[in-house]
Amino acid sequence: MKKLLIAALFSLCAATGFAAVDVNKASEADLDSVRGIGPSTTSKILEQRKAAPFKSWGDLIERVPGIGDKRAAKLSQEGLTVNGDAFKPTGAPAEAKPKQ
């Protein structure tokens, strides 16, 4: 019985610990709760969001300094979404430089 109770408690904690945070709806505290977003990035996001909601991940990357494809992928893994969508890289992988 103890094992079942512990498993149920763990499942509940795990499910609530990873909630999607939509960049267009999130409060300052919600954005700060996403691992990888600090106060500086939060303020940049909120400032840009005042001008207009983010249309896509590409729009977010273009308008918020310090967020590129690599960081967007990490933030998405931590639960950040744009209009409910997770980040999906669209660019082709960079070609390897030829060895000389």
pLDDT of 19 > 90? The answer is no
CA dist 40 and 34 (Å) reads 13
The string of DSSP letters for 63-85 reads HSTT--HHHHHHHHHTTEEBTTB
For residue 99, the model assigns a pLDDT of 58
For residue 89, the model assigns a pLDDT of 83
Domains of the chain by start residue, with CATH: 18-81 (1.10.150.280)
For residue 96, the model assigns a pLDDT of 46
pLDDT tens-place string over residues 25-82: 999 999 999 999 999 999 999 999 999 999 999 999 999 999 999 999 999 999 999 9
For residue 55, the model assigns a pLDDT of 98
Which carries the bigger pLDDT value, residue 95 or residue 72? 72
For residue 35, the model assigns a pLDDT of 97
Q: Is the pTM of this model over 0.75?
A: no
For residue 95, the model assigns a pLDDT of 47
